């Protein structure tokens, strides 16, 4: 077994994990109690009533929020009985309502599109490589390690793929520490601003690009943020800043380090599993998958982006992309498209 990662030099609110010191992060697996399921059953019948103060659900989500911010940054909550709502559009709607009620106890959902969508269906839509609607979640291809534009991401699994579609996670504090030990010169580069080109679906954003670091600290709080596809898109656009050779080398080393088996954790979500990730301390990706031929059996997850009240402060560089950098502020997500923004993106 490899040497355990040294976390002695880490700042506060920073917890590194890896397969070298734990096959899965301690405390990340959680289940529903009978009493909690009974409360969910009542909530499921009248989701719109919300949760009263001091409810079991509220207390559970408070504990999950603490684990995400000050613990491993990962929680896998197993056993939501989604099947009891039945099949078809009506059943899906009820599951969406229940999922929304659950995650809203953790934070405020933020938009995942220029249309203001607060919940996204993650499934292979087969739009085509050059279709403007195509983004990683609606394909069946393997994704690279990345973070999303929010504090916390929540995935609810409804259907598994026929084959593949594994979740893979890596601790960004662990990556930081490995690179600090092995290539401190490249770590210095990764803590400098990188250009991010505006996403093709981010049509509510008037900025053609923004610049932010991969690793950063603010008031002693660590933050890791990474989406290479937008960095590479900026590098290939003459209207955006180009990368230096050292920046490309640093990004390559970061991704090579994330591939190490002793750092990665892999698993497949089962129907009813909710995966919560703190995007500031975890990188995530999905492996390629093969779907079932029957439409009703195909891989399907629901995704919500959350801004959480116990979030950490961020460097000022993140303000352009996240809207706010103060701890506990509402931030992240995509702006709704306006007439002015549409003109500037055309």
Sign of the Cα pseudo-torsion (14, 20, 21, 26, in order): positive
Percent of the chain with pLDDT over 70: 84
Instruction: Check pLDDT > 60 for residue 207.
Output: yes
Instruction: Check pLDDT > 50 for residue 345.
Output: no
* Least confident among 24-33, 69-78, 221-230: 24-33
Q: What is the predicted pLDDT for the residue at 3?
A: 42
Q: What is the predicted pLDDT for the residue at 9?
A: 43
Instruction: Check pLDDT > 70 for residue 228.
Output: yes
In sequence order, the β-bridge partners of residue 209 are: 197
* Least confident among 83-97, 234-248, 322-336: 83-97
The answer for 196, left when phi > 0, alpha when psi is -120 to 50, beta otherwise, is: beta
Phi, psi of 237 (to 5 degrees): -105, 120
Query: What is the distance between the alpha carbons of residues 277 and 280, in angstroms, rounded to a whole number?
Result: 9
User: The pTM is what?
Assistant: 0.90
Q: Average pLDDT, stretch 86-96? A: 89
Residues in contact with 144: Cβ distance below 8 Å, sequence separation at least 6, in sequence order = 228, 229, 255, 285
Q: What is the predicted pLDDT for the residue at 24?
A: 54
């Amino acid at each position: 077994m490899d040497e355990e990662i040294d976390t002695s030099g880490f700042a506060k609110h920073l917890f590194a994990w890896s397969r070298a010191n734990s096959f899965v992060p301690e405390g990340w697996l959680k289940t529903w109690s009978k009493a909690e399921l009974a409360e969910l059953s009542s909530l499921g019948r009248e989701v719109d009533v919300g949760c009263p103060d001091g409810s079991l659900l509220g207390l559970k989500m408070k504990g999950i929020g603490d684990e995400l911010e000050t613990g491993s940054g990962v929680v896998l909550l197993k056993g939501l009985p989604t099947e009891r709502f039945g099949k078809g559009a009506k059943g899906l709607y009820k599951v969406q309502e229940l999922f929304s009620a659950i995650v809203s106890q953790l934070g405020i959902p933020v938009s995942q599109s220029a249309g203001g969508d607060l919940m996204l269906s993650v499934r292979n839509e087969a739009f085509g490589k050059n279709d403007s609607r195509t983004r990683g979640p609606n394909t069946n291809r393997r994704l690279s390690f990345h973070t999303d534009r929010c504090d916390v991401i929540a995935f609810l699994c409804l259907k598994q793929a026929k084959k593949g579609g594994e979740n893979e996670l890596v601790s960004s504090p662990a990556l930081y520490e490995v690179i600090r030990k092995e290539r401190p010169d490249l770590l210095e580069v990764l803590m400098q601003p990188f250009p991010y080109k505006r996403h093709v679906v981010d049509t509510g954003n008037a900025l053609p690009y923004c610049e932010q670091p991969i690793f950063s600290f603010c008031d002693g709080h660590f933050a890791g943020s990474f989406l290479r596809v937008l960095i590479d898109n900026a590098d290939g656009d003459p209207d955006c800043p180009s990368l230096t050779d050292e920046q490309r080398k640093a990004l390559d080393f970061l991704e090579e380090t994330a591939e190490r088996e002793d750092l990665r954790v892999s698993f497949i979500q089962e129907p009813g599993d909710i995966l919560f990730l703190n995007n500031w301390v975890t990188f995530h990706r999905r492996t390629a998958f093969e779907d079932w031929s029957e439409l009703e059996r195909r891989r399907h997850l629901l995704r919500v982006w959350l801004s959480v009240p116990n979030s950490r402060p961020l460097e000022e560089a993140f303000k352009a992309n996240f809207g706010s950098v103060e701890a506990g502020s509402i931030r992240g997500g995509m702006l709704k498209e306006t007439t002015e923004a549409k003109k500037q993106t055309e």
